[in-house]
Amino acid sequence: MQKNWIGKSYGCEVDFPMADGNGAIKVFTTRQDTLFGATFMLVAAEHPLVMELAKGKSSEKEVVQFVEKVKKQDKLMRTSEYYEKEGLFLESYCKNPLTGKQMPIYAANFVLADYGTGCVMAVPTHDQRDFEFAKKFNLPLIVVIQPKNKKLDPATMTEAYVDEGILVNSGQFDGMENTKVLDAIADFLEAQGSGKRTIQYRLRDWGISRQRYWGAPIPMINCDKCGIVPVPEKDLPVILPENVKLSSEGGSPLAALKEFAETKCPKCGGMAKRETDTMDTFVESSWYFDRFCCPDFDNKPGLERKKLDYWMPVDQYIGGVEHAILHLLYARFYTKMLRDFGVIGVDEPFTNLLTQGMVCKETMKCSEHGYLFPEQAAEGKCHLCQKEVIIGKTEKMSKSLKNVIDPDYLIQTYGADTARIFCLFAAPPEKDLEWSDQGVEGSFRFLNRLWRIFTEYLEDIKKITTPAANMTLEGEWKNIRRKTHQTIRKVTVDIEDRFHFNTAISAVMELVNAIYLVERPAKEDAEALSVIREALEAAVVLLAPIVPHIAEELWQILGHKTAVCDASWPEFNEAIASEEEITIVIQINGKLRSRMTVPVGENTEKIKADALADVKIKALLEDVSVKKVIYVPNKLVNIVVAQ
Ligand SMILES: [Zn+2]
Ligand SMILES: [Zn+2]
């Protein structure tokens, strides 16, 4: 159903003149190629035209009953393929604007008043629902699209033909492909004045009232005498009472609260009832970000153009996939409305969207006691009956499946930082994340490793400053420094561009490993220690957004007087970060055959010669003649040989 919430279709609005000369029925169609096959007209039962046409006719009473019956049917069910198609002849006719033939008009249950114009031209030969209806009411069938491989005969058709084909029984359009004739027929309708091209936009109604306590009150009063009366502006806002009794009974608890529900009608002064439904929370969440830009602004509607011009649009929207249609759609709709009112200057509320994945975990079940929480299934046994636990599918964490982890337990056992780094490390944010106890353990171990390397070096690097940009280094210290700057570069790009905290974290892990692997410098080796200090400082600042608690602690013990969250993001030096050697791929006719490392900036001819001299390549080139050697700088050498 949701796929039909919004949409845009290109088609024609076609006039079907009434047979008695009184006006015309307008129909929206995207299938004007089938217009010559339209043999009857269907009108949504609740469409006002139905009662208009039935008025004074012999079947008027029957029509009233039919309409009442259809109104009670579920809209979604009515239009489904399998629902019984019901209809009633309205004793009226219109005319097909292309054939001039009379078309009987029916009220039908499977046409909806809020779709298109609420009237549908029925082409029984090429629409399955129309076909079933025509069979039931014995209405004429005219084939207008013939498939290429067989010949359709209305007398023997058992279902509608809904695929492509060639037009027949369609006047001057005969012989054309139905997919290519749409424009020609649209032109013809426009020329003869019986139709025009149009675009139909669909936006399903949004029922904003909810029978519940939370949500903004709907400022309306129901009076028996005056109907629905808005709460006067001076009495706004209507404030929710706090002394409601929440029960599990359903319905709004506000209705039971007399001092809220009972009020006076602002119009006649008589006793009246306040609306006790509240608004869907999407109503306010569709524009709260605008209000956040100017929370102190008192003029109605509480939105200050100057501030909105400064802050809006929102740079980044992060939300679960469940927001992809509803909240995003409503928020955009609000923005466009506020723009049209001149309240806001932007067309779109959000610049970027990140749809995060879900946290998933395997489910656990006891054959007798059903789903089990992880703590009820210790060591693979049900806590109640000691039966073997059945490990089920990995599913989105939910209370009903009991495949949830209590964050309090994690925080008590490992601390909040472990929980945070595990979640961010386990998957890129747009992917689902599979919970893993080993992963949590691993994250905990990494934070411990980080802590240890700090404490090991702390005394030696406390009074050391980081190296100057132009410090000349050799060997492993040069390598560590390069790694530090490469790590800063990678983490910056991964987080800034893609929110890929997982690869950012693994880069910092590599840096920490590299520090572990290097031989510990002597206490007097200030140069080497300054490289270590730079590396450790970078690691802390880079991890601070991910594991703020441990990062703050480490930052302090390094001797900083200000908080790490106030420290500026580290900058990398491109020259220091750049590799001295690069790996070049060697291809033969575009296929990867070998690799080699070359110094950065090596001359092209030398690289080509080295590629041809590569041991593996040499062997492969023995019996073939080389036609061309192409070098794509810093990437690959492709050797083109005669096949
Ligand atoms: Zn009243
Ligand atoms: Zn059990």
| pLDDT at position 513 | 95
Ligand 1 centre distance from Cα of residue 43 (Å):
38
Confidence of residue 1 (pLDDT cuts 50, 70, 90): very low
| Single pTM value for the model | 0.58
Ligand located closest to 264 CA: 1
- Considering all CA atoms of the chain, what is the largest pairwise distance in Å, rounded to the nearest integer? 110
The residue type found at 445 is: R
Ligand 2 centre distance from Cα of residue 361 (Å):
20
- Whether the per-residue pLDDT at 249 is higher than 80: the answer is no
Ligand located closest to 230 CA: 1
566 burial level (CB within 10 Å; 0-12, 13-18, 19+): exposed
pLDDT in tens, 264-315: 999 999 999 999 999 998 899 999 999 999 999 988 889 999 999 999 999 9
Structure tokens at 419: 């929980």
Ligand 2 centre distance from Cα of residue 367 (Å):
6
Cα angle vertex 65, ends 61, 69, to 5°?
Answer: 170
Ligand 2 centre distance from Cα of residue 433 (Å):
28
pLDDT in tens, 407-457: 888 899 999 999 999 999 988 888 888 888 899 999 999 999 999 999 999
- Whether the per-residue pLDDT at 497 is higher than 60: the answer is yes
* pLDDT, average across residues 199-203: 80
127: which DSSP letter? -
Ligand located closest to 364 CA: 2
pLDDT in tens, 10-25: 899 999 999 999 999 9
Ligand 2 centre distance from Cα of residue 388 (Å):
8
* pLDDT, average across residues 388-405: 88
Give the span between the Cα atoms of 482 and 531, in whole angstroms: 10
| pLDDT at position 537 | 95
Give the span between the Cα atoms of 224 and 231, in whole angstroms: 15
Alpha helices in 87-154 (DSSP H): 128-137
Give the span between the Cα atoms of 582 and 4, in whole angstroms: 53
Sign (positive or negative) of CA dihedral 123, 129, 131, 134? negative
| pLDDT at position 469 | 77
Confidence of residue 181 (pLDDT cuts 50, 70, 90): very high
Residue 443 · residue 427 · CB < 8 Å: no
Residue 147 · residue 153 · CB < 8 Å: no
Distant-in-sequence contacts of 571-577, Cβ < 8 A, 24+ apart = 571/488, 572/485, 572/486, 572/488, 572/489, 572/492, 573/469, 573/485, 574/489, 576/469, 576/481, 576/482, 576/485, 577/482, 577/485, 577/486, 577/488, 577/489
Sign (positive or negative) of CA dihedral 362, 365, 371, 377? negative
Confidence of residue 346 (pLDDT cuts 50, 70, 90): very high
Ramachandran angles phi, psi of 497, nearest 5°: -90, -35
Sign (positive or negative) of CA dihedral 198, 202, 203, 204? positive
* pLDDT, average across residues 85-98: 95
Ligand 1 centre distance from Cα of residue 267 (Å):
5
Ligand 2 centre distance from Cα of residue 387 (Å):
6
Residues with Cβ within 8 Å of 149's Cβ and at least 6 positions away in sequence, in order, are: none
Residue 70 · residue 109 · CB < 8 Å: yes
Q: Which residue has the tokens 């994250």?
A: 443
Q: Which residues pair with 167 in a beta bridge?
A: 145
Residue that wins the pLDDT comparison between 530 and 7: 530
